[in-house]
């Protein structure tokens, strides 16, 4: 009965979403206070029911109820408890139920806690959120029922994809989904404000925490996903411009632009129409990502569904939501006043350039991601767009973007002087010049993009802390600290990317036991290979001894694992982290002559990539706390109709 209870809760939540939409629409159009007052409790109850439905699915997975088709297809009694739990969303139906649950809970949170919008705009926002949820409830109930029974139940389940049997799975998808759904709330705020013609500073201040929260979570999700791919897939890379990777990057780019735009609107009453448009675009990218991952048009470890009918359903939802929002924007854009003016040389001007560059990079990623799919649909020919396109097209724009990012925070609002701005940038530019000279002399021939990346990272690193110069640090607002830390994180991450790209050393060998090999500054010797048994797999494990110069040796244990259900072989890299980089070792199969495949990488300063990502997210968190505290201190009483 647990599965039936979960399904019933899902139906009831869907019914309440429909009721929330109808009541909200009638209340906003008629301005009847009784209807407006009814919407918020309905949103809260809907969130509770959706949560109950998701918890029942978790229970079915943890208890391995094989009479449920989804559990039988994605779970097994031999799996460790963590993967039984995380396996709930390690599949198509479960991940979509998580999606709609987070959507409903976010709507309930808006209903409970939002106090800055006037009542009509808030109800219009909740109605838009209900409309989004209704489509996804329909998708689950009519095309992807997670509670469908299986009769007779099998004696054992098929298990979870071994590549997903990693602690990272427990955290990576939820953080991304929370980010996607945060953008859905921003989208609903934009639709609500357009409906009531209430696009202004109050709307921006209400939307900003949601955008900031979504951006933090997307940053964490992308950073964690990059490191998961790096250590789990055994290929030694941290980003491949895979379409599924791009599906998470595109909303992040749009959210970054929106975050800066909404700050201008909230504090300076500018960029009104542009902010609304970015809110629509950001959620559109979330929907595009959902379509790519769930439609079955991609083959990837991340792409759970291989079912074009479901993809068509999601495509229809994307067309309805985004097409509807763009149509509403077109009808109402004339009612959105332009907002305050500013000079080109000003902080607002730098943020506009920042937005344009982010939008251009977003366009490059979108085209590169969709072009092979469109080409295959039209010509039947399979094409691929890989790192050379993305690096050469987006790389130069990214470098210009970080240069603007260095200048923006030290410019004045409204109007500034170009000569004075350049004077303030003298220190960062001097350091960049010194780094350029040092790298050209000490490491010639590393490539133009890594060289410029190192130079830009040095300049941005210094410029990012410039807003603190001359301030009383104890009295500096927390959101200023957040901006400084986030920008510093970008510089740290960029330094890691450039160093990894410029200085990585790779050795691929077929070696016998006892032979020694070189990779970068290390000598590496394969001492032994033995079979071992894990909780639900068997493996061969190598014993690899590494030494740097005359330093102390240390041991690594790379594995090649074999999972019986589903039958899969995976490489588990052995990675040693040192202050100046990581030694990365993978052991493969042996050949007929008794030689073992060894893949060795020395990756200088590669950890800065993820340290920078963590700093960016931490900076966002500081800003979020600072902004929320400030808003709470200055929150006016809610306007009523």
At 488-519, the pLDDT tens digits run: 999 999 999 999 999 999 999 998 999 999 99
- How far is Cα 469 from Cα 351, in angstroms, rounded to an integer? 21
| Per-residue tokens: 37 | 């007052």
Average pLDDT of span 381-388: 82
SS3 state of residue 584? strand
Task: Summarize pLDDT for 390-442 with one digit per residue, the tens.
Answer: 999 999 999 999 989 988 888 888 888 888 888 988 999 999 999 999 999 99
Question: With contact defined as beta carbons under 8 Å apart, do 206 and 189 qualify?
Answer: yes
Angle of the 478-503 helix axis to the 387-407 helix axis, nearest 10: 140
Q: Is the peptide bond before 444 cis (omega within 30 degrees of 0)?
A: no
The pLDDT score that the predictor gives to residue 379 is 82
The pLDDT score that the predictor gives to residue 640 is 46
The pLDDT score that the predictor gives to residue 638 is 52
The pLDDT score that the predictor gives to residue 430 is 94
Mean pLDDT taken over the chain: 89
Task: Summarize pLDDT for 283-340 with one digit per residue, the tens.
Answer: 999 888 887 877 666 655 455 545 667 778 888 888 898 888 888 888 887 777 666 7
- The structure tokens 């004077």 sit at 423
Percent of the chain whose pLDDT exceeds 70: 96
Task: Summarize pLDDT for 209-261 with one digit per residue, the tens.
Answer: 999 999 999 999 999 989 988 988 878 888 888 888 898 999 999 999 999 99
| CB neighbour list of residue 178: distance below 8 Å, 6 or more residues apart | 102, 213, 214, 217
Question: Please, how many CA atoms are within 13 Å of residue 358, restricted to the half-sphere of its CB?
Answer: 25
Task: Summarize pLDDT for 106-143 with one digit per residue, the tens.
Answer: 999 999 988 778 889 999 999 999 999 999 999 999 98
Question: With contact defined as beta carbons under 8 Å apart, do 228 and 374 qualify?
Answer: no
Calculate the alpha carbon distances from 374 to 214, 282, 363, 625 in Å: 30, 22, 15, 43
- The structure tokens 């504090």 sit at 267
What's the whole-model pTM score?
Answer: 0.91
Question: With contact defined as beta carbons under 8 Å apart, do 573 and 234 qualify?
Answer: yes
The pLDDT score that the predictor gives to residue 641 is 43
Task: Summarize pLDDT for 23-70 with one digit per residue, the tens.
Answer: 999 999 888 888 889 999 999 999 999 999 999 999 999 999 999 999
DSSP string spanning 303-318? -----HHHHHHHHHHH
Q: What is the CB neighbour count within 10 angstroms for residue 175? A: 20
The pLDDT score that the predictor gives to residue 296 is 63
Angle of the 426-442 helix axis to the 448-464 helix axis, nearest 10: 150
């Amino acid at each position: 009965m647990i599965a039936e209870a979960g399904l019933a809760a899902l139906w009831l939540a869907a019914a309440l979403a429909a009721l929330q939409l109808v009541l909200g629409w009638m209340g906003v159009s008629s301005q009847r206070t009784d209807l407006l007052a009814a919407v918020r409790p309905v949103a809260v109850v809907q969130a509770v029911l959706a949560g109950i439905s998701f918890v029942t699915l978790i229970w079915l997975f943890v208890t391995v109820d094989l009479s449920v088709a989804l559990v039988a297809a994605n779970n097994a009694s031999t799996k460790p408890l963590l993967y039984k739990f995380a396996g709930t969303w390690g599949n198509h139906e479960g991940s979509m139920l998580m999606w709609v649950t987070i959507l409903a809970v976010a709507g309930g949170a808006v209903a409970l806690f939002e106090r800055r919008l006037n009542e009509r705009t808030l109800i219009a926002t909740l109605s838009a959120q209900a409309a989004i949820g209704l489509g996804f409830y329909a998708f689950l109930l009519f095309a992807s029922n997670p509670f469908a029974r299986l009769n007779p139940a099998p004696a054992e389940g098929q298990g979870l994809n071994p590549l997903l049997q990693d602690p990272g799975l427990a955290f990576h998808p939820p953080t991304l989904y929370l980010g996607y759904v945060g953008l859905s709330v921003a989208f609903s705020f934009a639709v609500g404000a357009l409906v009531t013609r209430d696009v202004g500073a109050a709307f921006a201040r209400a939307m900003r925490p949601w955008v900031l929260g979504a951006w933090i979570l997307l940053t964490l999700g992308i950073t964690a996903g990059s490191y998961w791919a790096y250590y789990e897939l055994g290929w030694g890379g941290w980003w491949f411009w895979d379409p599924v990777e791009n599906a998470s990057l595109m909303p992040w780019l749009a959210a970054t632009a929106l975050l800066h735009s909404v700050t201008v609107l909230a504090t300076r009453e500018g960029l009104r129409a542009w902010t609304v448009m970015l809110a629509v675009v950001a959620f559109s990218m979330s929907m595009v990502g959902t379509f790519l991952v769930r439609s079955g048009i991609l083959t990837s470890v991340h792409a759970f569904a291989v079912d074009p009918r479901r993809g068509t359903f999601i495509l229809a939802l994307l067309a309805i939501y985004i097409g509807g929002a763009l149509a509403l924007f077109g009808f109402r854009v004339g009612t959105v006043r332009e907002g305050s003016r500013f000079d080109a040389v000003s902080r607002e001007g730098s943020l506009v350039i920042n937005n344009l560059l982010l939008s251009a990079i977003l366009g490059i990623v979108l085209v590169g991601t969709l072009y092979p799919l469109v080409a295959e649909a039209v010509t039947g020919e399979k094409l691929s767009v890989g790192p050379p396109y993305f690096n050469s097209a987006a790389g130069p724009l990214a470098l210009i973007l970080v240069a603007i990012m260095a200048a923006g925070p030290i410019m004045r609002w409204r109007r500034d002087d170009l000569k004075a701005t350049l004077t303030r940038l003298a220190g960062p530019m001097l350091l960049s010049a010194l780094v350029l000279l040092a790298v050209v002399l000490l490491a010639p021939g590393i490539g133009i993009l890594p060289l410029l990346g190192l130079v830009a990272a040095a300049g941005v690193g210094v410029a990012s802390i410039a807003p603190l110069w001359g301030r009383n640090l104890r009295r500096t607002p927390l959101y200023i600290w957040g901006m400084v830390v986030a920008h510093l994180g970008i510089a740290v991450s960029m330094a890691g990317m450039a160093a990894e790209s410029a200085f990585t050393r790779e050795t691929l060998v077929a070696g016998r036991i006892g032979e020694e090999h070189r990779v970068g500054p290390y000598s590496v010797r394969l001492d032994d290979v033995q079979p071992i048994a894990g909780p639900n797999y068997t493996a061969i494990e190598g014993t690899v001894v590494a030494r740097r110069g005359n330093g102390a040796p240390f041991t690594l244990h790379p594995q090649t694992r074999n999972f019986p259900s589903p039958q899969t072989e995976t490489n588990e890299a052995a990675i040693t982290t040192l202050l100046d980089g990581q030694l990365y070792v993978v052991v493969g199969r042996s050949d007929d002559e008794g030689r073992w495949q060894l893949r060795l990488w020395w990756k200088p300063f590669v950890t800065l990539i993820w340290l920078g990502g963590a700093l960016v997210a931490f900076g966002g968190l500081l800003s979020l706390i600072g902004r929320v505290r400030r808003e709470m201190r200055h929150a006016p009483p809610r306007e009523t109709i």
